Structure 1
Amino acid sequence: MARVSTATDGPAKVDRLPFLVALGIGLVAALLVLKMVGEPVLAAGFLAAALIAPAALFAWYRFSSVPPVEAPPADWALAHALAEASEEALAVTDRAGQLVCANGRFAERFGGYPTPPGLPLEEEGAAQLAAAGRVAWRDGRASAWIRADGTVLEAAIERVGDGTLVWRFFGGGRATASVEAEQWLSGPPGDRLGGAGIMAALLGSDGRIRAANRVLRARALGHEEGSIVGRDFARFLTTDGEGRIRFEREGVAGNPLRLLQVPFLPDEGAPILVVLLDEDAAEAAAPISGGAAGHVRALVSLLPVGMALVDRDGRFLHMNHAFARATGVNTNAPPLYPGDLVVREDKGALADAIRRFAGGAQHASDMAVRLIHHPDEPIALTIGGGRGLGDAAVLLTLKDTGEESRLKRQVAQATKMQAVGQLAGGVAHDFNNILTAIIGHCDLMLMRHTPGDSDYDDIQQIRANSNRAASLTRQLLAFSRQQTLRPQVLQLPDVISEVSNLLKRLLGEAVELVVRHGRNLGPVRADPGQLEQVVVNLAVNARDAMVAKNPNGRGRLVIETLSIGAAEVRAMENEVLPVGDYTAVRITDTGTGISPEVLPKIFEPFFTTKEVGKGTGLGLSTVYGIIKQSGGYIFAESEVGQGTSFTIYLPVHAAPAIAAPPAPVQPRRERPSDIWGTGTILLVEDEDMVRSVAERALTRQGYKVMTAENGEAALELLADRPQIDLLVSDVVMPAMDGPTMARHVRRIYPDLPILFMSGYAEEQLRRSIDLGNVAFLPKPFSVQQLGEAARDVLATK
């Protein structure tokens, strides 16, 4: 590297020294030549050469020297961005041990930005981390297990380039399980394995040793005191020409080893348990027997993973408790073949796979099988060749995926119910528009016909059937949780008392109705009419089940109200029901019961076990939708032949129960003239048939009506600022919806009353309506209801 000098000082003195020395040497040489040879010309040549050569070198040095260019400072912005994108706590240090960058998870984990390895760790964690850092500088990577705030962490350290260390810290169940396994191997259990001749080590995903028992350390290092943690396990082993494994330290004179690799945890990148067993060279291919066989089986029995050994004929030799528990095997009478555990459709595939690996296949294979005792829950079975295990030719490893499958089914069920709910809500909305037009036209026709007219009864029949269809749409909206509720703070015993007389008529004389009320029942907030519908639907289903069991319909229906405290909910350990105080209703019958295959499907829409034409499949789905929309939970328990029990949990309302105020007494309407009015109404509706019937109905009732098919058209009508007294609009319309249009109208008419009409639930639409002085009319509605709603809104103006 060129030295640095300043321009004002000129050449440093140390730069002239070589020139002066060369000049002195040249002068001495010239004098010696003159004295010895006596030739002045030759002496002058020596002197000239002594002057020219140093001068040339000095000139070249001065003019070729370029001031050094300082390297630009490193830009760590990209490193910071990558660190923040990492899911684990991450830090980077340079060669000098200074912290270069760290992400937010590192700060959360360690309470700021301390520089590794000087982190706030428990016990000897900082020393272990420092030792791992030195190994990483030397070997390129290292790892260590540490504790911080009672949490076990895995530290993975990697050298990047020649001057940077990347520190990553992982936490969670895998780290805790790995630490426990390390302590297990390094402690007395590992010594007991060594006493049985079993050498065991826990390896990380990088092949480096995390822990090893004492006998393995002694064989691999030649002594027990040496440190083996963090070193590459493969470096301690060697293979001969016949593929036999030995310790490298022992050489070809050492005993051959039998090696087994067992995944410690099912996660990718999790530690691996490696077991080494001694075997004589002559017995390397012989079946294991006696003590060695006992050691292998003892090791398999200790592992937390479900494992089994199978011989070359496909028969079980041994299985551990985890395997027996996962497959439901009776240890007193174990099966003979693996195929005895699976359903008939999977027997052939499993037997073929076992034969293939017993014949010498090397690579392990995964396959999904269904067990006899859980045919609906496939499990993952890993099959591998048991090389060096003697009689045991195949190793079976079982991964219990029951919980994973259950969660997948729940997610799929929830997704399906949500999709069907959205479909049902959309169908109900469109159907309500059609029913509004049918009912409205029937009302208009009835105004021109009187009782006794030949067409009067037919029109009444059409109107009655339309009202029945409207109740069906209400069921669809209830299932999809989009119906309009009128919640009140009430006591459940009052609701049960109101509906009891109706239930007695519905159930008949053959069914005994028993009503019991608990004590200290808290108030709930719900729609009393909808709760009555829930009780009636469940009671009718119970009656049908009791009739199916007993032709004369005899049975017993018990309705109970109970107070469920938070402590009782916690004791249930129910994953769905949050801990809290509830008031519950339990409805129990003595009917046929529900089979376990059908029970998970009973709340699905359009699912029914009744004969064709005797059930729509919307009864229980409606019940489910009402309860969920009210903030409650419903569960079913059943036993075939004994009956079914439905339990509804409604959260206790924080405020005390307040009796609902009496409805205002309305004057009796004896003539349609009661709903006549005056004023100008702007009617906005995208459905032509609904707009037509609403326009005719309001016009007949005395109003002047302006119509628009959408929000944009309505705003164009208002461009000339006409005088209007009421805005009647649909909520959901293409392009511009009703609330958006109403906000534009309110800028022109700040105090204009608005009446929204929609086939969707009022509660759902209120979230998008942030306007005052707004009324709501649910579809379908009659001409009378439309006139009353318009009159009431104008009365508040």
Structure 2
Amino acid sequence: MDSKQWVMLGGLGAALVVSAAALWFVSESVILSVTFLGGLAVMIAALIVFGRFSTPATVDEMAPPDWSVTVAAIEQPGVAIAITDRANRLACANTLYADWFGVGASPPNLALDRPSLEALTRAAREAWRDGQAETQNLMSHDGTTGWHATAERAGRGDDYLIWRLTAAAEADAALAVSEWLTGSLGQLLSRAGIEAALVAPDGMIRSVAQGFAERASGDSSATMAGQDFVTQLRTDDRDQIYFAREGRKGAPQTLLQVPLDDLSNPDASGADEATSLMLLLESGVGIGGQGDAANSAATPQLEALLGALPLGLAMTDRDGRFLFANQAFLRAVDREEAGVPQYPSDLVVAEDKGALADAVRRFGKGPASNGDMAVRMRGHPDEPVSLGLAGVRGLGEAAVLLSLTDSSEETQLKQQVAQATKMQAVGQLAGGVAHDFNNVLTAIIGYCDLMLLRHTPGDSDYDDIQQIRVNSNRAASLTRQLLAFSRQQTLRPEVLQLPDVVSEVSQLLKRLLGEKITFKVRHDRDLGPVRADPQQLEQVIVNLAVNARDAIQAAGGGTGQLTMVTRRVSARDIRKMETDIIPVADYTVLMVQDTGGGIPQGLLTKIFEPFFTTKDQGKGTGLGLSTVYGIVKQSGGFIFADNVAGTKSTQAGARFTIYLPVYQGTVPAPKTDDALPASDWSGGGNILLVEDEDMVRAVAERALSRAGYTVTTASDGEEGLAAIANGGPFDLVLSDVVMPGMDGPTMVKALRKAHPDMPILFMSGYAEEQLRKEIDIDNMHFIPKPFSVQQIGEKVGGVLAGSRPSE
């Protein structure tokens, strides 16, 4: 015991003696005092003994933990590790985590895009609940960097989460190749006599295998990143390639360049614009090299290399027979199940067989060189692909290396872009033709109306004139379909519920389909409202139903089923689809599915083209689906067509899916027309008629003059302004929109400076909605072409009645 303990013990003993003396003085009993003193002495002795055997507390349990050892322990190459507490505060992290994310941020609150933040937050909740969690494909804000993350609960009280984040190498295929080279695969190649390096388009080294670093620099651990690849090699007077460090003392090398064009740079068009895998092969390495055991053992290793690369590679002998092909090559030529054919020419169309066979023999027997040629595969004869060829030496007998990239997705994207461009061009052409044709139809229908005013039913010419008028109206409906396809027709959009539109046409559809076709309708709950023209949506549904009926009847028997389904698709569902076509938003979807056998795969990209039809000649115009396409696109929606496989209870068929965006604003009150009916207007008026087409101007002038109006005509905007300046005030300006020189909107903007309240009535074959987007003019009205004599009279009377000042 130390001095403090002795002092305390002495004080305690003195207190015991004083206590015993006080007890004797009170009780005058010696026995009682001695007994009391002895009991206390035994108790004190027991406490002393217990204190000697007890372990003093030497550690302050409340002191904060020392994380330095933990930080040293979690330093792992390629893995960013962070430890967080229950409040998501960063307790410690390794160096790689600090380099990637900094020490000011902790999971799950990292600098990621919104979907990645949501996925990381869900992983944190799962880890606290289940003990561990995992999430993949986390992307940074700019979308250039990706990670995979795992979280694991740890600590004596399970109060911490251990996060491990690794880079997603899939985001950069060249990075994946780089990791293979610097790993065990690079060592395997070096043992087989093959040195490899990954070289950027500017000729600088990105990474090398350890064997390449040893032979080029003398240090197997050197990365050599940023050094010029060419300076690591040299050639002699016979153009043989050696490592610059070894000179002619080393073995000659054969250089093979494998461009990773569609992996590291999708826009690259050749090896000079892409990261390349450079392979240096020693003489005597490879397949059939003088029959020695070393070369035979190297064959599986070389095949393992080629099989691991993401680029499609195959090897042939000098006579053109296949020796090997990796899975990427077989996938690109659609031979994964059938296996490797005997000759490369077996993969291409008959017209390309001879050219490919000659090229393989030329590269196999000539000097070491490389090149490429365009060929057409048997499975896709309309889509030429680029096949790379390289003569390989140093693998025993001469061989030819073939390289082919699986570009099916790129080809499909090109087809979609070309189809969209063609559809846009055809739409513009259709819109222009329809506009000009509407002018002609306006004159024909107008003159028919004027002639019918002079002929009564029963007259010899009445029926003929009426037939001309009916056929003209049929032609007008065709132009409306063309305008619908080109998205230039006049729409009257309303905020509505899609099931209500389906219900309106259900009875009509049952009559159209007949008794042999079953019609089923299913509606989802909580559907959002959409903004569209209800009449045009009805036309969409009817057109799709008629096509389904014809498909079912053509399939044989005429018995089948047509199903219409409405569904609610949220923005989260669109985000999960990972599509670049549909913007992320809430949609109401209409699916129309039949059992008519489906659409041939080769026609799926053509069905929305105008005048394209699979029906017999004379039984279809080819405008039905093009009209559907135009109405849906003009309503801000999207339409897709695909085939649905059959089941035990249903047959295969086609499915059309229409996405209409949910209307997010308040539902507007129905519009009221304050204009009085034309029959209530009898005040006449002065009208300025501006129209560049002589026949349309003549018809409109005669129709309005017969209705009691005073009409002044002008052939363009300049004449219209001159008439207003010289002819006095007008009650109404009736003008075409598109005219040579000064068009209608320009003329109206100029005259409104002097006459701000003058009513304007535009007439055009284009869409009213498009017109209102381009110009914003108050007191503006619209009448679409073609129109009849009665329609133009009623419209003018209604506009004048509505603009009459109130009494």
- The TM-score bracket by the shorter chain reads 0.7 to 0.9
Deviation at 1:502, TM superposition (A): 1.5
Which region of structure 1 is more displaced relative to structure 2, 269-278 or 494-503? 269-278
Contact conserved, 2:365 with 2:398, CA < 8 A, in 1? no
Which residue is 1:643 aligned to? Answer: 653
Shift of 1:755: 0.7
2:464 to 454, 458, 483: 458
Is the partner of 1:645 in helix, strand or coil?
strand
The equivalent residue for 2:275 is 271
Indicate the residue corresponding to 2:624 in structure 1.
619
Once the two structures are superposed, residues 493-538 of structure 1 have per-residue CA deviations (whole angstroms, 9 ceiling, x without a partner) of 1111111122222222332222222211111111010011111111
CA RMSD of aligned residues (A): 3.3
Q: Relative to 1, partners in 2 of residues 1:252 and 1:786: Cα closer, same or farther, differing over 3 Å?
A: closer
Counterpart of 1:479 in structure 2 is 485
Q: For residues 313-328 of structure 1, what are the structure 2 equivalents within 5 Å?
A: 313-328=319-334
How far apart in 2 are the matches of 1:224 and 1:509?
Answer: 81
CA distance in 2 between partners of 1:470 and 1:738 (Å): 23
Query: Of the candidates 432, 440, 446, which is equivalent to residue 434 of structure 1?
Result: 440
SS in 2 for 1:748: coil
- The change in CA–CA distance for 1:263 and 1:423 in structure 2 (over 3 A counts) is closer
Which residue in 1 is equivalent to 2:691?
Answer: 685
Distance 1:763 1:592 in 2: 39
Q: Which moved more, 1:225-234 or 1:692-701?
A: 225-234
Q: 1:651-679: CA deviations, max 9, x gaps?
A: 11113656756888987x8xxx6664411
Q: Is the Cα contact below 8 Å between 1:309 and 1:392 reproduced in 2? A: no
Q: C-alpha distance in 1, partners of 2:760/2:217?
A: 88
* Identical aligned residues as a percent: 59
- Is residue 208–residue 223 contact of structure 2 (8 Å, CA) maintained in 1? no
Return closer, same or farther for 1:312/1:616 CA change in 2, 3 Å cut-off. Answer: same
> What SS does the corresponding residue of 1:419 show, helix, strand or coil?
helix
SS of 1:728 mapped into structure 2: strand
Q: CA deviation at 1:229?
A: 4.5
Whether 1:583 and 2:593 are equivalent positions in the alignment is: no
Q: After TM superposition, give the deviation of residue 475 of structure 1 in Å.
A: 0.6
**What is the DSSP-based 3-state SS (H/G/I as helix, E as strand, rest coil) of the residue aligned with 1:777?**
strand
* Contiguous gaps of at least 5 residues in structure 2: 1-97, 101-139, 147-167, 263-267, 646-650
Structure 1 position 381, deviation (Å): 0.5
Structure-1-length-normalised TM-score: 0.73
Paired with 1:663 and 1:542, the residues of 2 have a C-alpha distance of 39
Which of 179, 187, 193 is the matching residue for 2:189?
193
What does residue 211 of structure 1 align with? Answer: 207
Alignment partners' CA distance in 1, 2:223 and 2:429: 66
Distance 1:149 1:510 in 2: 56
Distance 1:497 1:340, change over 3 A: same
Residue 351 of structure 1: SS of its match in structure 2?
helix
Letter in 1 for 2:274: A
Unaligned ranges ≥5, structure 1? 1-120, 124-146, 154-171
Q: Give the Å deviation of 1:276.
A: 3.0
Paired position in structure 2 for 1:508: 514
Distance 1:186 1:544, change over 3 A: closer
Q: Does the Cα contact within 8 Å between 1:287 and 1:391 map onto a contact in 2?
A: no
The 5 Å alignment of 1:373-772 reads: 373-551=379-557, 553-638=558-643, 642-655=652-665, 660=670, 676-720=682-726, 722-772=728-778
Instruction: Classify the secondary structure of the residue corresponding to 1:532.
Output: helix
The answer to which of 367-376 and 704-713 deviates more is: 367-376
Higher mean Cα deviation, 675-684 or 189-198?
189-198
Distance 2:547 2:333 in 1: 38
1:174/1:270 contact within 8 Å kept: no
Q: Aligned to 2:381, what secondary structure does the other structure show?
A: strand
Q: Report Cα offsets for 1:405-438 as digits up to 9, x if no partner.
A: 2222222211111111111111111111111111
**Separation of aligned partners in 2, 1:611 and 1:260:** 57
Distance 1:710 1:234, change over 3 A: closer
For each residue in 1:455-490, what CA deviation from the matched residue of structure 2 results, as whole angstroms up to 9, or x when unmatched? 222222221111111111111111110000000011
Query: Secondary structure at the residue paired with 2:305?
Result: helix
Change (3 A) 1:236 1:792: closer
Higher mean displacement: 605-614 or 238-247:
238-247
Aligned-pair CA distance for 1:287: 7.2
Whether the 8 Å CA contact 1:676–1:701 is kept in 2: the answer is no
Question: What SS class does the counterpart of residue 692 from structure 2 fall into?
Answer: coil
| Structure 1 residue 785 displacement after superposition | 1.1
Letter aligned with residue 556 of structure 1:
Q
**Compared with structure 1, are the counterparts of its residues 175 and 498 closer, same or farther at alpha carbon in structure 2 (3 Å cutoff)?**
closer
- Describe the shift of the 1:287–1:793 C-alpha distance in structure 2 as closer, same or farther (beyond 3 A): farther
Q: 2:189 aligns to what SS in structure 1?
A: helix
**CA–CA distance in 2 between the matches of 1:587 and 1:227?**
59
TM-aligned CA distance change 1:455 to 1:567, over 3 Å: same
Q: Is 1:257 paired with 2:253? A: yes
Match of 2:375 in 1: 369
Structure 1 202/722 Cα, relative in aligned 2: closer, same or farther at 3 Å?
same
| Larger CA deviation: 438-447 vs 685-694 | 438-447
How far apart are the structure 2 equivalents of 1:726 and 1:178? 70
Q: Distance in 2 between matches of 1:334 and 1:583?
A: 48
Q: Within 2, Cα distance between the matches of 1:782 and 1:206?
A: 70
**1:279-294 alignment runs, 5 A limit:** 279=283, 286=290, 289-294=295-300
Residue identity matched to 1:683: L
**Partner SS, residue 536 of structure 1:** helix
Q: 1-side partners of 2:243 and 2:477: how far apart?
A: 81
Query: 1:148 and 1:444 mapped to 2: Cα distance?
Result: 68
Cα offsets for 1:103-132 (capped at 9, x unmatched): xxxxxxxxxxxxxxxxxx959xxxxxxxxx
Q: Is the 8 A contact 1:425 1:480 kept in 2?
A: yes
2:94 is matched with none
TM-score normalised by length of structure 2:
0.72
SS of residue paired to 2:198: strand
1:126 corresponding residue in structure 2? none
Q: Judge which range, 744-753 or 175-184, deviates more.
A: 175-184
Q: Is the 8 A contact 2:289 2:397 kept in 1?
A: no
Equivalent residue in structure 2 for 1:342, among 322, 340, 348: 348
Q: Verify: 1:789 aligned to 2:799, yes or no.
A: no
Give yes or no for contact 1:366–1:382 (8 Å, CA) kept in 2: yes
Partner of 2:154: none
Per mean C-alpha deviation after superposition, the further-off stretch among 239-248 and 567-576 is 239-248
1:352 CA displacement: 1.4
Matched residue of 2:212: which SS? helix
CA distance in 1, matches of 2:716, 2:676: 35
Alpha-carbon distance in 2 for matches of 1:715, 1:545? 57
